[in-house]
């Protein structure tokens, strides 16, 4: 009996060891109160962290201390595998910083309290060596200016465009519109806008540098005459940001952080409501698909301290992905209710109870913006955009997100 027990345990160890090298597992989840190290799955064994990882590290030190996190080594897939550092006990806390890509030793960030939550997410493609990050209790010696937050770099290009005019009212600014450019560089974006006699307030380069073409008090020509909520001419009342991106590629984290930082300043300056931060594709002209589904709105809202519970779901994975409505010409009271609530939030559509092509385009825009769990990214094939029928369905997660948005706006 003893022998059997021993051999069974040994066998289990071998199986676990094999599992660790083939498919890395998350390390321990609780750390502190003394200084220590957190590492990506497999880091100690010198193996890559693996795809589709989702690990959480809770760090707690003595009351009254802050926590200093310092990168010793960090190598992840630049776009898509990220370390999120939250300034509190869970992922609803404020995001302090997001680390991704190749970071040299020494990058650091400090919490405001004695608890931080770190998560590591990898996607389903490339994986890499991962990270080793030291944490230590720190007393209040460090001032906030020593944290690693980059300062926004804005380059003045305001003498380069003539394709703008005065707003009907220079202080009537109520919306922020996010676009992606389709073009691969700042210069190509500027040329494309100019050639079409268009403009935008800001262009965000892939390296995070911002180029300003038009004063915020003036009316840039970026959003057409689209309708959102009670606003029927978006150029009159909005500020536009073109984010350099072809439309079927991930956004670098440094660029997304810069867009979030710029947006936070604009939102504060003009007191813009969360519901009036829209993607171009959200209003009226549903032929648009920008800003693409690759844009990380979770990071964006966290950086702006907006919609804190938006991405908390009560649904199981299968319920999130359950299709509630799709193409049909039959009247349904439930579809009418979805249409009315989308309308109430700001989307432009007719509440006729029919899940027809017009409603499907609105649903596609909604899913692209708010439901990354189910959204399949559009692709560019031979210069043509490919959109997917599955993005035009109403899912369990779509219903849950809409309920949250209507309740919190």
Residues that bind Zn ion (CB under 5 A): 179, 280, 290
Q: Which is nearer to Zn ion, 173 or 234 (CB)?
A: 234
Q: Which is nearer to Zn ion, 189 or 398 (CB)?
A: 189
Q: What are phi and psi of 293, to 5 degrees?
A: -65, -10
Q: Which is nearer to Zn ion, 60 or 179 (CB)?
A: 179
**From CA 194, how far away is CA 183, in angstroms rounded?**
13
Contact call for residues 68 and 110 (beta carbons, < 8 A): yes
Shortest distance, CB of residue 179 to Zn ion, whole angstroms? Answer: 3
Q: Which is nearer to Zn ion, 191 or 317 (CB)?
A: 191
Q: Which is nearer to Zn ion, 283 or 325 (CB)?
A: 283
**From CA 91, how far away is CA 80, in angstroms rounded?**
18
Shortest distance, CB of residue 384 to Zn ion, whole angstroms? Answer: 18
Q: Which is nearer to Zn ion, 282 or 290 (CB)?
A: 290
Shortest distance, CB of residue 374 to Zn ion, whole angstroms? Answer: 23
Q: Which is nearer to Zn ion, 179 or 368 (CB)?
A: 179
**From CA 204, how far away is CA 351, in angstroms rounded?**
37
121 CB neighbour count, 10 Å cutoff: 16
Strands 95-99 and 54-60: unpaired
Contact call for residues 291 and 280 (beta carbons, < 8 A): yes
Shortest distance, CB of residue 333 to Zn ion, whole angstroms? Answer: 35
Shortest distance, CB of residue 138 to Zn ion, whole angstroms? Answer: 44
Q: Which is nearer to Zn ion, 82 or 179 (CB)?
A: 179
Provide the token pair at 149: 């937050």
Shortest distance, CB of residue 287 to Zn ion, whole angstroms? Answer: 11
Shortest distance, CB of residue 223 to Zn ion, whole angstroms? Answer: 7
Please give the torsion angle defined by the CA atoms of residues 296, 186, 263 and 161, in that order, rounded to the nearest 10 degrees.
-150
Q: Which is nearer to Zn ion, 177 or 342 (CB)?
A: 177
Question: Is the N-terminal amide bond of 33 cis, ω within 30° of 0?
Answer: yes
Shortest distance, CB of residue 203 to Zn ion, whole angstroms? Answer: 12
Q: Which is nearer to Zn ion, 261 or 290 (CB)?
A: 290
29 CB neighbour count, 10 Å cutoff: 13
Shortest distance, CB of residue 29 to Zn ion, whole angstroms? Answer: 42
Burial label for 374, CB within 10 Å (0-12, 13-18, 19+), is middle
Shortest distance, CB of residue 177 to Zn ion, whole angstroms? Answer: 7
């Amino acid at each position: 009996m003893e022998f059997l027990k021993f051999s069974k345990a040994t066998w289990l160890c071998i199986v676990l060891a094999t599992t660790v090298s083939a498919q890395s597992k998350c390390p321990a989840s609780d750390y502190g109160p003394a200084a220590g190290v957190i590492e990506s799955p497999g880091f100690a064994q010198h193996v890559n962290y693996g795809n589709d990882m989702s690990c959480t590290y809770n760090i707690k030190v003595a009351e009254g201390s802050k926590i200093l996190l310092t990168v010793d080594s960090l190598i992840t897939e630049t776009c898509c595998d990220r370390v999120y550092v939250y300034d509190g006990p869970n992922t609803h806390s404020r995001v302090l910083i997001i680390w991704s890509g190749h970071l040299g030793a020494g990058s650091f960030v400090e919490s405001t309290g004695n608890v931080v939550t770190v998560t590591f997410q990898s996607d389903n493609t490339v994986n890499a060596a991962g990270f080793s990050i030291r944490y230590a209790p720190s007393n209040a010696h460090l001032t906030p200016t020593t944290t690693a937050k980059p300062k926004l770099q804005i380059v003045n290009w305001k003498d380069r465009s003539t394709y703008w005019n005065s707003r009907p009212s220079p202080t009537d600014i109520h919306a922020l519109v996010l676009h992606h450019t389709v073009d691969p560089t700042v210069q190509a974006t500027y040329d494309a806008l100019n050639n079409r006699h268009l403009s935008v307030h800001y262009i965000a380069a892939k390296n995070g540098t911002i180029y300003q073409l038009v004063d915020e008090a003036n009316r840039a020509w970026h959003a057409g005459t689209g309708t959102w909520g009670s606003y029927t001419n978006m150029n009159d009342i909005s500020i536009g940001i073109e984010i350099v991106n072809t439309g079927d590629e991930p956004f670098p984290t440094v660029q997304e952080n810069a867009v979030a930082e710029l947006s936070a300043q604009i939102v504060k300056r003009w007191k813009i409501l969360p519901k009036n931060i829209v993607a171009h594709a959200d209003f009226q002209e549903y032929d648009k698909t920008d800003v693409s589904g690759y844009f990380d709105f979770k990071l964006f809202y966290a950086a702006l301290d907006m919609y804190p519970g938006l991405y908390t779901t009560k649904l199981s994975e299968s319920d999130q992905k359950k299709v509630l409505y799709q193409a049909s010409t039959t009247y349904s009271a439930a579809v009418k209710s979805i249409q009315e609530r989308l309308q109430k939030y700001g989307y432009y559509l007719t509440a006729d109870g029919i899940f027809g092509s017009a409603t499907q385009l609105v649903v596609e825009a909604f899913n692209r913006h708010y439901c990354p769990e189910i959204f399949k990214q559009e692709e560019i094939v031979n210069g043509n955009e490919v959109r997917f029928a599955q993005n035009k369905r109403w899912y369990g997660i779509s219903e849950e997100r809409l309920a949250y948005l209507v309740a919190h706006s």
